[in-house]
Amino acid sequence: MNNQPVTFAVIGTGLIGPRHAAAIIKTPKARLACIVDPNPAASAVAAELNVPLFDSVAEMLASPLKPQAAIICTPNHTHVSISKTLLDANVSVLCEKPIATDLAAAAGLLNHVKQSSAKFAVGHHRRFNRYFRATKAAMPSLGRVIAVSGLWTLYKPPPYFEGVGEWRKDGANGGAILINLVHDVDVLQFLLGPIVRVSAEETIKQRGFHAEEGAAILLKFQSGCVGTFIVSDAVPSPHNFESGTGENPTIPATGMDFYRIFGTEASLSVPDMKRWSYDGRDKSWTQELKEESLSVEGSKIPFELQVEQFVNVVRGEEEPMCSGEDAVRALIVVEAVKKAMKQGTAIDIPC
């Protein structure tokens, strides 16, 4: 077994890149070799991390510091081209979500992956979150899942859309559906199986950008489960993954729930992990429900667990937690949501 650390580059030093870099540094089986970003502000990040900085992927690949793996943390529309360049250079890729901004580009990337000897995975890191792992373990105790209700609602301030974040105003590359809802779509399919039909209505726009600010969505799963979801990045609210779990250190933790899952035997709210049931007694609305709090084991932060797992993927010891095919499935659903929102009709999604 190879015990040498796998060398990594982090491509992009915006909001998420430094968090990935910190996860690499904390992982004994990995080593941060360099970062890549032409933005002048990246020099301060490189100095803080004490690693070399390259202006371009080409410059990095031509150097003696060419890594074994790279994490792509650049604007959405660049994910495919950068992934292909790295794969062609036999550098394994962990690409931030979404895998692409459209299905044609995503399909082209998957074909590229099949022709490469390098490994490829997508950073839907919430699959590693301890609350979702606990939820996955608790699913059988709920019986058959009948319905789910979800929220991702908070307020993004103006600076998020300025400077290097200008692309987030774009209707094709930005917006709460492609940037944020795609996370929840991946998690919901991870927990409940494929989504096969969606309907959606867009929320009121307040900023005047081309990108949408949110939507109300109806979901139908292959299992027969139905769901509702509200996503908005323009309302004051504690109901979202980041606030609920406290995973993102830049967003104050509230512990408030953002998922409610309803089964034939019990219901569960996440992340407070409260399970409600009749505890084996006859079911009746006149019967008092039993409330119990399910235990959630402590763990490393998901970014660190993701790096650890990807090291094993690079070494050929494991399959990716989130494959390119998994990520495309999430992209298919968010594209269907956008189409449903525009057309005002339900969109069927083939399995």
- The per-residue pLDDT for range 163-202, each reduced to its tens digit, is 989 999 998 889 999 999 999 999 999 999 999 999 999 9
The amino acid at residue 8 is F
Go through the domains of the chain in sequence order and give each one's CATH number: 6-126+302-320 (3.40.50.720), 130-297+332-348 (3.30.360.10)
Tokens representing residue 234 in the block:
């323009």
Long-range contacts of 14-20 (CB under 8 A, 24+ apart): 14/73, 14/74, 14/164, 14/165, 16/73, 16/96, 17/45, 17/71, 17/73, 18/45, 18/49, 19/303, 20/71, 20/73, 20/123, 20/303, 20/307
Q: What is the pTM of this model?
A: 0.91
Write out the E strands in 203-304: 214-221, 226-232, 259-263, 266-270, 274-277, 290-293
Q: Is residue 263 pLDDT above 80, yes or no?
A: yes
Q: Would you state the pLDDT for residue 15?
A: 86
Q: Would you state the pLDDT for residue 1?
A: 53
Residue 11: strand pairing partners: 36, 72
DSSP codes of every residue in 290-341? EEEEPP------HHHHHHHHHHHHHTTSS--SS-HHHHHHHHHHHHHHHHHH
Instruction: Measure the CA–CA gap between 72 and 109, rounded to whole angstroms.
Output: 14
Q: Is 282 helix (H, G, I), strand (E, B) or coil?
A: coil
Instruction: Measure the CA–CA gap between 67 and 10, rounded to whole angstroms.
Output: 10
Q: Which of 79, 18, 95 is nearest to 51 (CA)?
A: 18
Q: Would you state the pLDDT for residue 299?
A: 78
Q: Is residue 345 pLDDT above 70, yes or no?
A: yes
Q: Would you state the pLDDT for residue 219?
A: 98
Q: Would you state the pLDDT for residue 3?
A: 80
Write out the E strands in 50-91: 53-54, 69-72
